[in-house]
Chains A and B, each alone.
Chain A
Amino acid sequence: MNDTRQDSTTHFGYQTVDEKQKADKVAEVFHSVASRYDLMNDVLSGGMHRLWKRQTIEMSGVRRGNQVLDIAGGTGDLSRKFSTLVGPEGQVVLADINDSMLKVGRDRLLDKGVAGNVRFVQADAECLPFPDNYFDVVTIAFGLRNVTHKDRAIESMLRVLKPGGRLLILEFSKPKNPLLTKLYDTYSFNFMPLAGKLITNDADSYRYLAESIRMHPDQETLKAMMETAGFAGVSYHNMTGGIVALHRGIKP
């Protein structure tokens, strides 16, 4: 379950790197893609990421007055919707470890008139700078696979959640159908780097994206990780044949 190796190395896509280097390498990737992140998401997923996020919002149970933490919030797709749902008496914290992504997200939300109940915080998911039992809902969408110590991050999310609060992890996962797996692999390792090269002139970042998805724990493993961290009632919901899964857990 722990994604670190004995000699303090970890994976960065298919490469094995020193643990300390992973955060820097991930940061490089996101600095490189930040400005065209939304465009690339639309191109690479064919707009499907919007539907996956819709489903996440439907299942989040966010209501007026809630405190919501959107980790790895990137360009603020989820935070924007949550901001409306929590209303002026609630609060949404958009957190991202990468300052380039955070700036893009902040500018985008301000441009769309989202302000007042949204805070922007540069934070590492492994050691969240928030008090214990503070948030009603914590979400992390397409961010967990980039975290060096996923188990520590999940524990940190448990700590900041109020008892009864829920964690939602939206992340790429493993398709169940072998034919879909084959098609998905062909797409990921051929089309994605090519699209990255054409649109952002950066094939490596998108090769990393495909590799990091393959290195990410599958549905059952991630569920077990959440249970080990202390979450109760953990369940997951496969989307698009399991290419993406939404895991949910409640802090007891």
Chain B
Amino acid sequence: MLTQLLLAGADSSINALLRLDPVSQQRFGKLAGQVLAIQAREPDFALFLVLQPEGLQLARQWEAPADCTLSATTAELWQLLTSSNKAAALYQPGVTITGNNSLLVELADIVQAMEIDWEFQLQQWFGPLAAGLIGSHLRLRGRWTAANLASLHQRTEDWLAEEARLLVGNNEAESRFAELDQLKLQLDRLEARAALIRRQLEPDTE
């Protein structure tokens, strides 16, 4: 029942989000009654998306056959979820689609095209003027945060590159030590040969 509770919470949240974008919700509604099965590997788990007129229902098991089955590793599924080009991510080598793949393509397209009008939602609560002010303030803060995050990312990258040049890795150090040992042995041999030659050139003292 705990899983049911978690799934109920998850699909309520997704449906609440969908309500904020009536166009996407309408597109979802057109697919109502169809079932998408997601079979994940590493770790193994199954999840069913049952499309409803007002959104979707998530299920851990589904006795009826699914219209479309998507099989992939969990990492590939995550990549698919977060990718900005979902259609391309669907056709990676590790991803297998069986059944009606147009359902999956349509779903990916809906998720990709989702645009939630947060300002309109704020307007419902605070009125148009306040919503406009809050919206522009949040947009400004959002841009500032994005710019700072990009800058932080760039600086971290630069710093790591610098550090990488100053520090020597263990394998590289071992290789250098081996070269030095070899050099020392060669010097010892040269020294011994020079001593031998010196002895041969010296006049016989006897």
Contact = CB atoms under 8 A, between A and B. Distances in A.
Interface string A110-124: 000100000000000
A51 B65 contact: no
A60 B63 contact: yes
A54 B60 CA distance: 11
Interface residues of A, number: 21
Interface in B59-101: 59-65
A51 B60 CA distance: 13
B8 interface: yes
B54 to A, nearest CB: 9
Nearest to A54: B4
Interface residues of B, number: 19
A141 B5 CA distance: 19
Interface string B167-183: 00000000000000000
Q: Which of B4, B7, B52, B60 has the most CB of A within 10 A?
A: B4
Interface string B38-72: 00000000001010110001011111110000000
Interface in B10-34: 32-33
B8 A59 contact: no
A61 B53 contact: no
A36 B3 CA distance: 29
Contacts of A61: 63-64
B63 A85 contact: no
Contact of A51 (B5, B33, B63, B64): B5
Interface of A: 48, 50-51, 54-55, 57-64, 81, 84-87, 113, 239-240
A55 B4 contact: yes
Given A51-B8, A54-B57, A59-B61, 7 more contacts: A57-B59, A62-B64, A63-B64, A64-B33, A81-B52, A84-B52, A84-B53
Interface of B: 1, 4-5, 7-8, 32-33, 48, 50, 52-53, 57, 59-65
Contacts of A60: 63-64
Given A64-B33, A84-B52, A58 B63 contact: yes
A59 B33 contact: no
A84 B63 contact: no
A239 B5 CA distance: 12
A48 B1 contact: yes
A185 to B, nearest CB: 20
Contacts of B32: 84
A229 B104 CA distance: 43
A54 B52 CA distance: 13
A59 B1 contact: no
Nearest to A66: B64
A51, A54, A59, A64 interface centre (most CB from chain B within 10 Å): A54
Contact of A58 (B1, B5, B62): B62
A85 B65 CA distance: 12
B1 A85 contact: no
B65 A63 contact: yes
